[in-house]
Amino acid sequence: MARRVHNFFAGPAALPCEVVKKAAEMGVLEFDGQGMSVMEISHRSKPFDKMFKNTQNNMLKIMGLNPDEYAVLFVGGGASSQFFHIPFNFLKEGMTADYVNTGVWSKKAIKEAEYFGKVNVAASSEDKLFSYIPKEFNLTPGAAYVHTTSNNTIYGTEMWNFPETGDVPHICDMSSDFLSHPMDFSKFSMIYAGAQKNIGPAGAVAVVIKKSYADQAREDIPTMVNYRTHIAKDSLFNTPPSLPVFVIGLVMEWILENGGLEGIAAINRKKADLLYGTMDNSNGYYIPHVQDVASRSFMNVTFRLPSEELEKKFIAEGTEKDLLGLKGHRSVGGCRASTYNAVSYESVSALVDFMKDFKAKN
């Protein structure tokens, strides 16, 4: 295996080493003994169809969802494309959609939805620079749907307790914490996630949608944005993102081999406890953006140092030690360590050792 650094980038992000190796050997060089790559084989062929269905079924297995009730779609366009697909399908005339505003990506989703109909911002944490998750929600009775964003990569918050929506469909953008811990996924009518954060390479979006909910969508919309189109063709209406789906399939196998979501969550908590504990015990040298412990993300840890000069030095010296991706998002500055499923405890431990050494010297 080639040299591997400690990858803390927010996305595209780290993949398990075993997955990268398998992808090269079993997919990129030659797929299933076919004499060609998974990038070259027909998506209508039996070997490809078997791989595709295994990936879908394993995802539902991990989530504890019934394949008779839910469909898994792999589509292109990035998770941002779902910002308009969702209201196009479900925000019907005269209805209101509820959105919880917890960061940049939820704001973008709100903007797209407003092109299609009325939007109620049911809760927002913008008043404190998105440093917490709201606990009270002003939901609209009979809303078209409630939209939440479970994890916020830029500000470092994560939604551990979701609003109770009753009979109103709940749609969630889980792009950056998808399949990182157990939850009752059956509470959601639709979940979507860009692959490049936690489950695969860039180029695919996983959409997990309740079939009965998709049946409620408008019919007078373009074919490609209609979820029923993709469900009817088992997500093969058009050529899917072949290589990304293949890698996602390998990641699903990796999750199952590592104890499912319970096993993955145990490691993620251990990493988070180590990193946040180091900052909380630094006497204010490392300052987490999210002071509300109950709102802290286990996937994206954002923090500041005493000065911007020290932050630049921290990032530069970290890079020299193969600790990459520690620069905060350009819109907020500071530092950020993204510790997705594939980021090992050893990588987080190496980061913590560097943080302690850097503090001692500066």
The fold of 17-257 is Aspartate Aminotransferase; domain 2 (3.40.640)
In degrees and rounded to multiples of 5, residue 182 shows phi and psi of -70, 150
Tokens, residue 175: 């792009």
Is the pLDDT at 333 greater than 80? The verdict is yes
pLDDT band at 331 (very low <50, low <70, confident <90, very high): confident
Is the pLDDT at 335 greater than 90? The verdict is yes
Using alpha carbons, select from 171, 101, 111 the residue that is nearest to residue 137: 101
pLDDT band at 1 (very low <50, low <70, confident <90, very high): low
Average pLDDT, rounded, for the chain: 97
CA angle 158, 162, 165 (to 5 degrees): 155
**CATH code of the domain occupying 260-361:** 3.90.1150.10
Please state, as a whole number, how many other Cβ atoms lie within 10 Å of the Cβ of residue 220.
Answer: 5
Q: Across-strand partners of 97?
A: 119, 145
In degrees and rounded to multiples of 5, residue 24 shows phi and psi of -65, -50
Calpha distance 348→151 (Å, rounded): 20
Catalytic residue chosen out of the listed positions 22, 98, 105, 210: 105
Percentage of the residues of the chain whose pLDDT score is greater than 90: 98
pLDDT value, residue 2? 77
Kindly report, residue by residue over 64-99, the tens digit of the pLDDT.
999 999 999 999 999 999 999 999 999 999 999 999
- Cα separation values, 253 from 35, 53, 249, 261, 339, Å: 24, 13, 6, 12, 20
Catalytic residue chosen out of the listed positions 98, 173, 177, 271: 173
Is the pLDDT at 217 greater than 80? The verdict is yes
Calpha distance 91→264 (Å, rounded): 36
Tokens, residue 187: 């509470």
pLDDT value, residue 178? 98
215 is catalytic: no
361 is catalytic: no
173 is catalytic: yes
10 Å CB burial of residue 121 (0-12, 13-18, 19+) is middle
Three-state DSSP at 208 gives strand
Burial 184-198 (b: 16+ CB within 10 A, else e): ebeebbbbbbbbbbb
Domain ranges for the chain: 17-257, 260-361
In degrees and rounded to multiples of 5, residue 236 shows phi and psi of -125, 30
Is the pLDDT at 319 greater than 80? The verdict is yes
Is the pLDDT at 326 greater than 70? The verdict is yes
Three-state DSSP at 254 gives helix
Q: Which helix (H) or strand (E) holds 287?
A: strand 287-288
Tokens, residue 354: 């560097």
pLDDT value, residue 296? 98
> When comparing pLDDT for 330 and 127, which is higher?
127
CA angle 131, 330, 346 (to 5 degrees): 75
Return the biggest CA–CA distance within the chain.
Answer: 64
Percentage of the residues of the chain whose pLDDT score is greater than 70: 100
Using alpha carbons, select from 78, 128, 153 the residue that is nearest to residue 329: 153
Kindly report, residue by residue over 136-192, the tens digit of the pLDDT.
999 999 999 999 999 999 999 999 999 999 999 999 999 999 999 999 999 999 999
CB 75 within 8 A of CB 230: yes
pLDDT value, residue 22? 97
- What is the per-residue DSSP string for 83-124? HHHHHHHH--TT-EEEEEE-SHHHHHHHHHHTTTSEEEEEEE
Who's near 121: CB < 8 A, 6+ residues apart? 98, 99, 100, 101, 110
Is the pLDDT at 230 greater than 90? The verdict is yes
Domain 17-257 matches domain 260-361 at the CATH topology level: no
Catalytic residue chosen out of the listed positions 22, 98, 177, 197: 197
